[in-house]
Structure formats: structure tokens, C-alpha cells
Structure 1
């Protein structure tokens, strides 16, 4: 397949709902004055060293403009403290430790104490508060950030085990936010009437990282002995994963090898199908994914259709395509809208339809226009996404200062 010439991040964007107009010179966008705002505190429900996804992509790029602090949810321990974990790229992960047995109200008070001590110690004055979880507002609503951003990457209230007060806290956060970003177009449609400044930024792509998979890469040891064809999935295996679909596919085609990368969380392992052609290889480092993808035949997105997948925009869709893999997905709305309607990805709603689609890809009949796929991917880079987000933040800050 042909890899098209690289296009600049300032190329015209695909015209989809909620997408801000792309600007010329996207790599030279305005930023906050150095003496005004130079810190960004990210409140996250996901741990930095968990699966490498949206928060990691964006916060690593935010380091170009700000000193970034990534505050995780607390760990239960024997003493109260805040650990500083400096990353190689300069970002600092903050990990609160709370004593075992701390009651909920006391846990909120202690986290409030820890963040106040941190802000004083690090001389954080004017800063951006960037939220991935509304629950962090419980201990941070007393802060006075220069700008509040809600990056709504998922509809967390639809996930198993969601706190009962999450929706109420999200309403408070949206009311306080200066700008709201969403992780997909379906989420944008769900939030657009709740705030005057809501913008859709669906899953983007680090094209250079994954496109190396289009050239032969050493086959990782834990899949080296597996025969072909190999149909792979990479991501968190949880309530969003259609394990029944996988089981039926594996039974229908025992000669196909199904490889699954990623942690298994919030789901009974006993429910997951087992078989000689199903291989759970565990979580892999982001840097190692191209080697796995390079030695697969097909990338699959076997997501269940339930409340927890109604608004998702899977990051793996563009990553599989950048790696040169044909992709078959269940009819997730944002995948259909962005990739299925453009005929970049095949959509299948049953094991039988998945089987037919995989056969078509194996026979080289899909996809047929890799140049169009590459042009789309390169126009939707994480670099561009961050630059556009930062442009909107600067604009929102200017309005705030004028008021």
C-alpha cells in the first residue's frame, strides 16, 4: 500500500458537527503570556501508567505550553502524603495517599488539604484546571483557576460502578467550565445544549508512531508461534467488550487466531471465551504496539452495543488504520459516522457479518483507498488537536479577562 506525502497539521479538517474551524499556522498559535498562566493541573480518573490514551496524548503535548501536573485518584495507604512522580518528558504525576479506613467526607477534606499544600509548595498561582472526572470537583471547587476546562472523553455515568453523585457533579463542572471539549461527536451532541462553548475533538492519531507497522517489524515473542491469519484487538477489556461475539467468531473459524492486548478490568474473567485460537496477551507498552500490529492481519473493534458504548470514539480505529490494518467494527455510532460512511472501516453487527467482512479484508477487497485514509489520518493528528484546543483556551481566557 502507498503512504501519501505528509500534510501539515493546518490542513483543512473534515467538516463534522462540533468541530472547530481549523486555522492557518496551527503550529504557531497564540499562548498565554508566560507571566500570566504557565501551569496546568489535570484531574484524572485514569492513572498515567495505565493504557496510553487521550489524557497521555494531550498532556504530553500540553508540555509545549505549560508546566503540567497530572493528579490521579488516591491510593489507600498507611499515611497521608502526596507523591511526586516526575516523568521523562517533564510532566509530573501527583499521587495522593490516604490512610486506610478514611471515611468519604474525610477523604475529600484530606485531598483538599493535599492540593492546597501542593499549590503553596510549588508556587502555583495562575493556572488552568483541566478535568477528566467531575468527581474531582468535590475537593477542588474552592480553587480559583484562571481557566476551567472539562475534557469529557467518555460518558462516565454509563460505566459500571459509576458514583451515584457523578451526574450532579458533572452539572456543577459544566456550569463552572469556561470551555468543554468532547471525545467524540455523539458526546458533543449530548452536551452541546448544556454549555455555550462545546467543541468536539474525537480520537486523533500519532501517525508517525503507528505507520512504522507498515514495514516489517520483529514479531513479539508472545505471539511469534501463532499462525496466520491473526485478528487483533488492543484496548481495555471491560463491560464494553462483546465477549459473546468473540466466542462465536472463534468457534466459527478455528483456523483464525484472535489476539487480545490490554488489561481485563470490571468484568468476570470466567465470562471471557477460551479456546486454542483465543490469546489474551495482557497490557503492552504504547511503544511496543506497532510491532504487534505489524504482525497482525486484521484489526477488530468488537464492542458491545450498550449504555457504556453509546458515546465512545475508540482511539484504536485510527491507530489500526495508520498501521495499515484493515478494520472491522461493530456499529459504534462514532465509528460508523467517521470511518464507516467513508468506507474506511467495515461495519458488522453479528458474528456472521464479522466473518464475511474479515474474509473480504483477507482477500484484499477492503479497504480500497489507502490514499484517502492516509489523508484523513494526517489531518487529524494529536498535534493538531492539542493546538486547536489551546487556541480555543486562549480565546476563552481573553473573553474572561475582558469581563
Structure 2
């Protein structure tokens, strides 16, 4: 990105910083652009926009058809204090706080609060939706007065490694402020439904057309084209949720199978990952590249450990693998079992021996499983439909009718 494209809010508030996303300081988007008065949505996220493309990106991209969306990320350590404003398109902007190393927590919160207030003032944002993925953002946002607060609880963050000790208390506060609570899966819904009067389950959805391309036989990406077959693949964040001991044992038991892993290594030491001639860590791939990798695998894995961090997960990769036409072998994750475990092409396995047996079964007979039922299920689980249903609930809070169908497509 060029220096001209990078824009910022900071101290001092210089003249060259008075434009964000190409709109002048006093620009007001005409209300005719929207079917309701509330024009802005500010999302506070623990995940970065340019990280793994998942729930926040799918939903907030679609939200930008109805709102001007501001996606506020967690701070990054920089050598100066500023708020980077990075436009994705005319209706969607990424906000990245940059803070000097060694800045204490109180100062971090004060600086972010100041930048947020400047953003609201500069763009005359007075009637807006506040959308939270992380309750910790309340540390610098509890003073704002949105028209509506939404908590999209996609994970039980308090169970993740390195979770702040005050996260649970902040979540209680957010549940008191929010008018709508969405959950990223059915088990998470069961855990939250008695904590708030308006909790709604929205499990992982699917961009069926995108991943369905894998069924067409796409060209093999260069970095896996030399690998032998069969290929057993995993795509996602490689962190404490992955059962690396299971993965290592599988690789030893079946040296004739190639295990391909796509994704960044986060919160664990890369040196702790099992190694071997049939284990291939190919790194993080762009969302657009994934169908080509999936198209050249034979089986997909969900080798999650069974611990507190996986107790409530609803893996986004499950429907993506299935849309790509891949049989799936998964640990007994509750939401995978309840949603897909009643008949193939999803096998549920516990331990290396069961995983080996299930993978062998999927390789031996991948074509006679219940794809018709799975495909019908996937057709009803699009991100478009999920956002439409969420937006209907939001419009209900505004006491307005849903918008025309074309805005959801």
C-alpha cells in the first residue's frame, strides 16, 4: 500500500489526516443510500481482517451493503502512535491502532478511546451499531452510545490460551449492554442462552460456490504438486486446539499417506510440531487459493484435541471441506457430531487407531456416502442467508421491515 493510500488518525491531528477512505471530514452519506437511518456499524474484533478469512469477514463484508462498516482491530506494536485507516472498499474500512512498545494497558486504552472519539467526531457518526467480537474492547468503548449493541460470540475466548483474566467479567458487562447476542455454534448457544433474553444460534456457514469449485478438478498448486498420493489435508489455524500428538502418531502409522497442513502457527512453538517425510506444513494461504488445494486432496481432517478450548467450537472448515467434495474425519467435537455425524461423508474418530481406520474407509469408498443429504444441508447454510437472518433481527430492533432481497445477494 502506498503512502498516499495509508491514512491515519493520531496526535497531533494534522491536516493531512482529515480524510478517511476518500471522504472529506464533513462528508455525510445521503440517507437514501440506506433503508434505515442508522448508517454506520463499528465492529471491535480480536481477529485481524487480513488473517484467516472466516466469520467476521464473511458477515461484515455483507453488512457493508447496508451500513458503512468500520472494523477495529486489536493494537499492533509500532514505533509511533497512530490509527491506521485502511479502506477495503467505499463502505468498509479497517482500523488498526499502532502503539509504541512498552505502552502500559491504561495508556493503550486511553489512546484508543481518544482515537475512537476523533473518528466519531470526524465522520459525524452519532447513530450507529456497535458489533463486538471481543468483550475486552469495552476497556476503551464503554463510554460510547450506540443505537444498538450486538455481541457476536463466535468462540468461548476465555478458554483460549493467553486469555486475559478479566475477560469473563467484561463479557458479563457486554451481555448486559447488548440487545442481541449471536453464537457461532449450537453448543455455544446452549452455554449462553440463559445469560441473555435474546440469544440466537448462527453456526458456521458456507460460501458454497467458492468451495464447490474444488469439485471441478482444479490445477494442483505448485507447492504441493510434487507430493505423492493419497493426500490427507487440514486447513486452519494451527494452535493449542490441534491434537499434534495425534497428528504425529498418524504420520508414523501410515508413512504411505501424505499429511498436508495449511495455515499459520499461532500461540504454540513451531518446533513442537511433529516432523516427518510425510508431514508437509505449507503455511497460510489466501482464501481464494483454498479450493485448488482442496481439489487435490482425498480426505480432510479435523484433528482437534478435546479440551476447554475446543468444547464449544463449531469449525468453519467442516462445511467448506464438504462443499469441496471432501470426506471428513473429525475428532468428536460436539457441534460436528450433532450437525454432520449421523451419516457420511463425515466420520467421527477418537484416537489414532480410529482416525486411521476412518481415513482408510474414506479413501476406499468416497463415492457411496450421503452426499445428496449433505449437499441439501449445505444449500441451506450460506453466509448470505446467515447475514439476512441476522439483519432481520437488527431491523426488528429498529422496528423496521427487512430490506429488499437484492441487498443480500
Fold conserved (TM > 0.5)? yes
Measure how far apart 1:271 and its partner are: 1.7
User: In structure 2, how many angstroms separate the alpha carbons of the residues matched to 1:63 and 1:198?
Assistant: 23
Q: Deviations over 1:242-268 (max 9, x none)?
A: 001100100000000000000001112
Tell me which residue corresponds to 2:207. 206
User: In structure 1, how many angstroms separate the alpha carbons of the residues matched to 2:90 and 2:296?
Assistant: 29
User: In structure 2, how many angstroms separate the alpha carbons of the residues matched to 1:60 and 1:107?
Assistant: 28
User: In structure 2, how many angstroms separate the alpha carbons of the residues matched to 1:54 and 1:367?
Assistant: 31
Q: Once superposed, what is the RMSD of the aligned Cα atoms?
A: 1.5
Tell me which residue corresponds to 2:74. 73
Tell me which residue corresponds to 1:220. 221
The alignment partner of 1:193 has SS state of: coil
Tell me which residue corresponds to 1:253. 254
Q: More displaced, 32-41 or 334-343?
A: 32-41
1:276-287 pair list within 5 angstroms: 276-287=277-288
Q: More displaced, 125-134 or 89-98?
A: 89-98
* 1:54 is aligned to 2:50: no
Tell me which residue corresponds to 1:383. 384
Tell me which residue corresponds to 1:336. 337
The alignment partner of 1:171 has SS state of: helix
Q: 8 Å contact 2:237–2:265 — kept in the other structure? A: yes
Tell me which residue corresponds to 1:24. none
Tell me which residue corresponds to 2:137. 136
Measure how far apart 1:365 and its partner are: 5.2
The verdict on how the C-alpha distance between 1:318 and 1:99 changes in structure 2, with shifts beyond 3 A counting, is same
Measure how far apart 1:193 and its partner are: 0.3
1:318-397 pair list within 5 angstroms: 318-364=319-365, 368-397=369-398
Tell me which residue corresponds to 1:274. 275
TM normalised by structure 2 equals: 0.88
User: In structure 2, how many angstroms separate the alpha carbons of the residues matched to 1:281 and 1:365?
Assistant: 25
Q: Deviations over 1:13-45 (max 9, x none)?
A: xxxxxxxxxxxxxxxxxx996462011100000
Aligned residues: 369
Q: More displaced, 266-275 or 340-349?
A: 340-349
The alignment partner of 2:237 has SS state of: coil
Tell me which residue corresponds to 1:152. 153
Q: 8 Å contact 1:326–1:367 — kept in the other structure? A: no
User: In structure 2, how many angstroms separate the alpha carbons of the residues matched to 1:341 and 1:48?
Assistant: 35
* 1:44 is aligned to 2:42: no
* 1:105 is aligned to 2:106: yes
Tell me which residue corresponds to 2:403. none
User: In structure 2, how many angstroms separate the alpha carbons of the residues matched to 1:355 and 1:371?
Assistant: 26
Q: 8 Å contact 1:231–1:300 — kept in the other structure? A: yes
Q: Deviations over 1:357-385 (max 9, x none)?
A: 11111111576121111110010000000
Measure how far apart 1:99 and its partner are: 2.6
The alignment partner of 1:398 has SS state of: coil
User: In structure 1, how many angstroms separate the alpha carbons of the residues matched to 2:368 and 2:186?
Assistant: 23
Return structure 1 stretches of 4+ with deviation > 3 angstroms. Answer: 31-35
Tell me which residue corresponds to 1:307. 308
Measure how far apart 1:108 and its partner are: 0.8
The alignment partner of 2:114 has SS state of: helix
Q: 8 Å contact 2:34–2:66 — kept in the other structure? A: no
Tell me which residue corresponds to 1:13. none
Point out where structure 1 has 5 or more consecutive residues left out of the alignment. 1-30
Tell me which residue corresponds to 1:17. none
Q: 8 Å contact 2:302–2:328 — kept in the other structure? A: yes
Measure how far apart 1:343 and its partner are: 3.7
Q: 8 Å contact 2:129–2:149 — kept in the other structure? A: yes
Measure how far apart 1:396 and its partner are: 2.2
* 1:297 is aligned to 2:298: yes
Q: More displaced, 31-40 or 57-66?
A: 31-40
Q: 8 Å contact 1:294–1:323 — kept in the other structure? A: yes
User: In structure 1, how many angstroms separate the alpha carbons of the residues matched to 2:263 and 2:368?
Assistant: 26
The verdict on how the C-alpha distance between 1:314 and 1:299 changes in structure 2, with shifts beyond 3 A counting, is same
Higher RCO (Cα < 8 Å, 6 or more apart): 1
User: In structure 2, how many angstroms separate the alpha carbons of the residues matched to 1:312 and 1:173?
Assistant: 21
User: In structure 1, how many angstroms separate the alpha carbons of the residues matched to 2:303 and 2:90?
Assistant: 34
Measure how far apart 1:160 and its partner are: 0.4
The alignment partner of 1:368 has SS state of: coil
The alignment partner of 2:98 has SS state of: strand
Measure how far apart 1:53 and its partner are: 0.6
Q: 8 Å contact 1:40–1:68 — kept in the other structure? A: yes
* 1:263 is aligned to 2:280: no
TM normalised by structure 1 equals: 0.89
The alignment partner of 1:241 has SS state of: coil
Tell me which residue corresponds to 2:405. none
Q: 8 Å contact 2:43–2:70 — kept in the other structure? A: yes
* 1:172 is aligned to 2:141: no
